[in-house]
Each structure stands twice: as structure tokens, then as C-alpha cells.
Amino acid sequence: MWTIRYGIALVLFIAGWVILLVVNSHLRWDGWAMCMGAAGSIVLLNVLFRYGAKGDQERAQEDSAREFFSIHGHWPDEEPPPTRGRR
């Protein structure tokens, strides 16, 4: 999974610098900019997707905490209320 997330962007980043240093025509700047832009967009897309997916995890945790509250009468991170004995 690391290869998909970061490896492709790394290969494009390196390819951009290789194009800039090796190619001797006027297209070297275009090739460099294309590879840098593609690498940057892959990394940015990965960051935005991971940020968006984090919200789904938080929503699932909130749902499980609400279910716990409906069963036990207190939140999972709180101490249970003291039980009162009958007189």
C-alpha cells in the first residue's frame, strides 16, 4: 500500500529531476513541471483522502459511544454513577 500512496509520487519526483538534468531540448522544463505537478497532486490527493476518511472513524466512535450510553446510562469515558441502596 505504501507503494501506491507514496512510491508512485516518489518515482515521478525523481523522473522530473532526471528529465531536467538529462534532456537538452526546450521540453525539459515542460517535462520537469509535468512530473512535479503529477507527484504533488498524488500526494495531495492522498492527504485529502486520509483526512476525509478520519471523519468516518470519528463518526463510528461517536455512534458506539451513544449506544454505550443508551445501555449503561453514562458515557464510556466517565465513571459509572454510584448505585443507591434501597432502604
How much is the average pLDDT of 47-61? 84
Please classify residue 86 by burial: count the beta carbons closer than 10 Å to its beta carbon, then call 0-12 exposed, 13-18 middle and 19+ buried: exposed
Look at residue 52 in the predicted model and tell me its pLDDT.
Answer: 84
85 pLDDT more than 60? no
What is the percentage of the chain residues whose pLDDT exceeds 90?
46
The pTM for the full model equals 0.63
Look at residue 8 in the predicted model and tell me its pLDDT.
Answer: 95
Q: Report CA-CA distances (Å) from 12 to 28, 30, 37, 49, 50.
A: 14, 14, 9, 20, 21
